[in-house]
Amino acid sequence: MTGTGSVPNVLQARGLTKHYGHVVAMDGCDFDLRPGEILAVIGDNGAGKSTLIKSLTGAVVPDSGTLSLDGEQVQFRSPLDARRAGIETVYQELGVAPALDISQNLYLGREQRRKGLLGTVFRQLDKRAMRHGSAQHMADLGIRIQSIGQKAETLSGGQRQAVAVARVAAWATRVVVMDEPTAALGVRETNQVLDLIVRVRERGLPVVLISHNMPNVFQVADRVHIHRLGRRIALVDPRSTSMEEAVALMTGARSPEPADTPDPLPAPSTGPAATPSTKGTQ
C-alpha cells in the first residue's frame, strides 16, 4: 500500500541505486510524494539529491529500483518521457534560456504554429498567441513583469527564476520539481519565488523542492525528505521537527530513529510504522 489511505502517492520510488564508477550517487533510495504537498528534499553537498531528482524526472536512468506514478509502475528513459507523464522540472543552474524572451521561454519546445498553411507548411510561429498565453499565465500566477517580450538575460535573478517556475507550472499536470530554485537570489526575490511555489500547490500540483536553505524549507514545506549518503534517512514533519534536529540528521550528528519517518506509507493514524527502508540508519 502506498500514500494516504486509498489515495496513492503521486510519485513513489523504492530502492533506487546509481553508481558512477566507484561513486555511489544513490544507495537504495526511497521517495514518497503525496498529492498536493510541498515536499522539501534536504541534504549536504554530494548527498545525491540531484541524482535522485534526475531519476524521478528521466534525466538519469537508475541502475535498479522502482518508480511509480499514481500507483502505476513507470520507467522514464528520458526527460521527455517524464514530461509526457506530466512531470516538469527546473534543474539546478538551468533555469531559462538567456537569449530568449519570456514568452519564448514559456513555450520553449512547445511552440504554437500559426493556423492554416502558414503554420502547417511554412512552420510560422504564432507569436501573438504565445505572447497572449504567456501574459495570461504570468498574471494568473501573480507574477508582475513589464514586458513579455523582454529577453531573459535582461531580467533580474528573481524574475528569471519566476519565469522558470512559471514555465514548469504552465505545463505540469502531475508534479513540479525544482532543484535549488532560490540558490542565487536575495531575500525579497527568494520570498517571491516561495510565494509562487505556494501558489502552484494551491492550484493542486504537488511540488518537490530541493533546497539548502533551512528557513525557506521550514517556511513552505509540508514534509521534509532528509537525504544522506545516497538515500533517504528520514521523512519528517516540519511542524514537529525543528530545523536543528533536521540539520543534525542531515549531517549525521544524530542517527535517525523509526519515529523520524512516521508515515511514509499509510495514513498518519497510529504510531510509527517501521518500514524496511527506514530501519537501516547507515
Ligand X SMILES: Nc1ncnc2c1ncn2[C@@H]1O[C@H](COP(=O)(O)OP(=O)(O)OP(=O)(O)O)[C@@H](O)[C@H]1O
Footprint of ligand X on 55-94 (CB under 6 A) = 92
Binding of ligand X by 49 (CB under 6 A): yes
Identified binder of Mg ion from the candidate list 12, 50, 89, 190, rule CB under 5 A: 50
CB of 95 to ligand X, least distance (A): 15
- Distance (Å, whole) CA 256 – CA 226: 10
- Distance (Å, whole) CA 78 – CA 83: 9
Identified binder of ligand X from the candidate list 13, 16, 40, 47, rule CB under 6 A: 47
CB of 92 to ligand X, least distance (A): 6
Which cell numbers in the block locate residue 142?
Answer: 501573480
Identified binder of ligand X from the candidate list 3, 8, 48, 206, rule CB under 6 A: 48
CB of 19 to ligand X, least distance (A): 9
Can you state the angle between helices 157-171 and 187-202, rounded to 10 degrees?
10
- DSSP-assigned letters across all residues of 123-168: --B-HHHHHHHHHHHHHHTT---S-TTSBGGGS-HHHHHHHHHHHH
Residue nearest to Mg ion according to CB distances in the complex: 50
User: What does 122 interact with, of ligand X, Mg ion, none (CB < 5 to 8 A by kind)?
Assistant: none
Binding of ligand X by 51 (CB under 6 A): yes
Closer residue to Mg ion (CB): 34 or 227? 227
Identified binder of ligand X from the candidate list 43, 95, 262, 264, rule CB under 6 A: 43
Count Cβ atoms below 10 Å from residue 161 Cβ, excluding itself: 26
Sign, CA dihedral 148-108-170-34, equals negative
Binding of Mg ion by 216 (CB under 5 A): no
Closer residue to ligand X (CB): 25 or 224? 25
Provide the residue type at 94 as one letter.
Answer: L
Which cell numbers in the block locate residue 175?
Answer: 508534479
> Phi/psi at 27 (nearest 5 deg)?
-135, 75
| Binding residues for ligand X (CB under 6 A) | 20, 23, 25, 43, 45-51, 92
